[in-house]
Each structure stands twice: as C-alpha cells, then as structure tokens.
C-alpha cells in the first residue's frame, strides 16, 4: 500500500463569525494527492479553544475533552484501515477512505433520496449526549458536569482497554456493562489504575444510565444494558474516634506553635459541631442565632448538598469560636474563623 498520512486542520477561513466557531477538518495525503472533510458541527471550536489548540499535537489541552476523544477515535479508525490494507495492492480513493474513517455509509439511497443511517459508536453517542444535555445546561452545576465527564472518561478507558473504541452502541449488552463494572472495581498495575469502591463504581454507572436510556428512546438500542447491573450505595462506616482519643488530642499543649494550635482547635470544632471543613471555615456571624437563654444556634446550609443546618452549638465549640474573635478574621470580618495564609492563623 502506498504510504498515506492523516492530519487534523483548523479552517480559520471557514470560521462562523456569528456563532464564533471554527470547524475542524481531517485531511488525507497520498502521493501528492489530498482529500479532506469537515467534522460534525458539534466538534467546532470556540475562539477560546482555538487559542489553546496545540499545533504540534493537533489537540486541545487536558484529558477530559470531547474533541480530543473524537479525534482519538478517528485516528484509531485510520490506523485500523492501514493495518487491514497493509499487504493490499488495491488503492481505495481518498474520498472513500475518509468516508470509512468518519464512519459514514454511502449506501444506496432510498426512493425518497435519503441515504442509509450511519452506524453510531458508543463514544460518538456519549460525546454527543454530553455536548447537548450536560455541558451547557444551566440546571447542572460544575461539579455535576465534571462527574459526568469522569464517568464518560472511565467508559472510554474501558473500551480502549478492551480494544473496543469503535464498537457500535447497538451492540452494547448486559455482559459488556457488567464487564465495565468489574473493570472499575479492579486494579490494573500496568494501567496505573486503582480499584474503585462499589459505591464509586455505582455512582459512575448511574451517570451513564440516562445516556443509554435516551439511546433506547431513540431506538438505537433495544434495552438499557445498565438497567440490571447491581449497584451499591452503602458506604462502609468510617472508623470513629473514641472519647479517650478526643480527650488526648484536646490535652496536647501546642501553645508554642500557633499554626498547629489552630489546626487542633479547628479539628476539635468540627468534632464538637459536626460541621465539615468547608462548612466550618466559611461560617459567618450571620449564620449564628443568639438565643435568649445564652445558647447559640447554627442556621446555615451545607456547602456540598445545600441541606439546611439547624443545631445548637456545644459549649466547647462556642469556646473555640470565641477564642479566635480577637484575631484578624474575627467578628468584623466575613468569616468567624481566621483563614491561614502562612505559619500563623490570620
């Protein structure tokens, strides 16, 4: 087979000035001849992405990127084509090769003049779902979007591990879904992959289920392959400190080290109040209610879940708050507790 190369090209001259998007083309070159084709519009780059584009690697920076995933998939198809044709004397037209790489079927048209449907790969579909349903959704926060992308990246790693990057979504079944769950919960030294806990793997699968549910509604698959996968959301109980251990921590004299003293006090505050690190460090005077009997009640929202907090503070926790009122970051500042910027709390 005559040597053939594939390159990725940004077409600045075809930039959409209204939407401010630049298209990506793939280009094949063989013996001085070339042919190119535009990628789907969902992979167009914003002006900000164009500035970050690597001319050396023809990729965007970072691992979690839909464009990079798609380009990796196209490159895998191109390499497969070259392997299949390595010892062949037949030279396919460049346009036909591009059609195969893009996974388009130039099948005979029906009576209405419409071409046959394309085979949709798993990665094509999950990338499309993320771009349309998650990435620009105003109802999902950044953390949720990152978690969806994390689940998609796990799926991509699994398919790559199984040499199934080009698998069609219609062929994914329960067996493959169960293999994916087993993959998540297994450590692979050569992949530098740690085993996930069942709760973590179940969370990732829960994020993939709506993607395949939509594929079922669109009649791309007959059944959602993840529907019958057994999931677990019972986290093992964390080992608790005993009263004796807390007393031992409380009795440590760190008066000669203000930084460690603050760390100890802050830890004990969390113990006596039940607040997480984020909720405790961001506690403000506006979130405290001073009751008639002298007690203090926290009235706030948990940072992670948004769940309301209403609880009476124990005297030991109140004493710790009072201890730091006279330092910068005291009652006149935004937060009740000082935020550390160096060796000493300030």
Cα separation, 161 vs 157, in Å, equals 6
Nearest to 240 by CA among 266, 268, 261, 271: 271
Cα separation, 344 vs 346, in Å, equals 6
Beta bridge partners of 312: 297
Q: How crowded is residue 110: how many other Cβ atoms within 10 Å of its Cβ?
A: 9
Q: What DSSP element (H or E) covers 258? A: helix 258-273
Please tell me what DSSP assigns to residue 61.
S
Is 135 in contact with 145 (CB distance < 8 Å)? yes
pLDDT tens track for 156-215? 999 988 888 888 899 899 999 999 999 999 998 887 889 999 999 999 999 999 999 999
pLDDT value at residue 100: 86
Nearest to 254 by CA among 242, 266, 244, 241: 266
Higher-pLDDT residue of 69 and 186 is: 186
Q: List, in order of start, the domains of the chain with CATH numbers.
A: 1-104 (no CATH), 118-236 (1.10.150.130), 243-323 (no CATH)
Beta bridge partners of 38: 25
Nearest to 270 by CA among 260, 284, 281, 286: 281
SS3 content of the chain, % helix, strand, coil (to 5): 45, 15, 45
pLDDT tens track for 18-33? 889 999 999 999 988 8
Instruction: Give the predicted TM-score (pTM) of the model.
Output: 0.50
pLDDT value at residue 210: 95
pLDDT tens track for 74-132? 988 898 888 888 777 668 888 889 988 887 644 433 332 223 345 789 998 999 999 98
pLDDT value at residue 323: 85
pLDDT value at residue 195: 92
- Residue 136 banded pLDDT, cuts 50, 70, 90: confident
pLDDT tens track for 234-266? 766 778 889 999 999 999 999 899 889 999 999
pLDDT tens track for 287-328? 888 888 888 888 888 776 778 888 898 999 888 888 876 544
């Amino acid at each position: 087979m005559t040597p053939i190369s594939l390159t990725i090209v940004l077409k600045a001259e075809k930039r959409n000035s209204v939407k401010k998007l630049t298209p990506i083309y793939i280009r094949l070159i063989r013996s001085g001849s070339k042919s190119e084709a535009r990628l789907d519009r969902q992979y167009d780059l914003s002006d900000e992405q164009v500035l970050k584009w690597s001319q050396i690697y023809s990729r965007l920076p970072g691992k979690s990127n839909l464009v990079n995933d798609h380009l990796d998939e196209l490159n895998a198809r191109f390499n497969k084509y070259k392997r299949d044709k390595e010892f062949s004397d037949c030279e396919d037209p460049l346009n036909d090769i591009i059609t195969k790489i893009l996974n388009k079927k130039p099948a005979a048209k029906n009576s209405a003049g419409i071409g046959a449907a394309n085979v949709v790969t798993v990665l094509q579909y999950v990338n499309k779902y993320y771009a349309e349903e998650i990435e620009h959704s105003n109802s999902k926060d950044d953390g949720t979007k990152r978690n969806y992308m994390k689940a998609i990246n796990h799926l991509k790693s699994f398919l790559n591990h199984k040499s199934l990057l080009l698998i069609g979504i219609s062929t994914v079944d329960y067996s493959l879904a169960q293999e994916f769950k087993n993959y998540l919960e297994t450590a692979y030294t050569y992949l530098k992959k740690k085993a996930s806990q069942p709760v973590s793997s179940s969370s990732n699968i829960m994020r993939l289920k709506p993607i395949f549910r939509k594929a079922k509604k669109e009649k791309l698959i007959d059944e959602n392959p993840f529907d019958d996968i057994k999931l677990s959301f019972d986290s093992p109980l964390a080992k608790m400190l005993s009263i004796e251990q807390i007393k031992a921590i409380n009795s440590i004299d760190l008066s000669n080290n203000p930084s460690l003293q603050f760390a100890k006090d802050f830890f004990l505050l969390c113990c006596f109040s039940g607040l997480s690190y984020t909720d405790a460090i961001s506690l403000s005077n506006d979130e405290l209610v001073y009751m008639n009997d002298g007690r203090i009640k926290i009235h706030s929202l948990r940072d992670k879940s948004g769940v309301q907090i209403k609880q009476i503070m124990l005297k030991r926790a109140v004493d710790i708050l009072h201890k730091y009122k006279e330092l910068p970051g005291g009652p006149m500042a935004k937060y009740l507790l000082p935020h550390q910027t160096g060796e000493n709390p300030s």
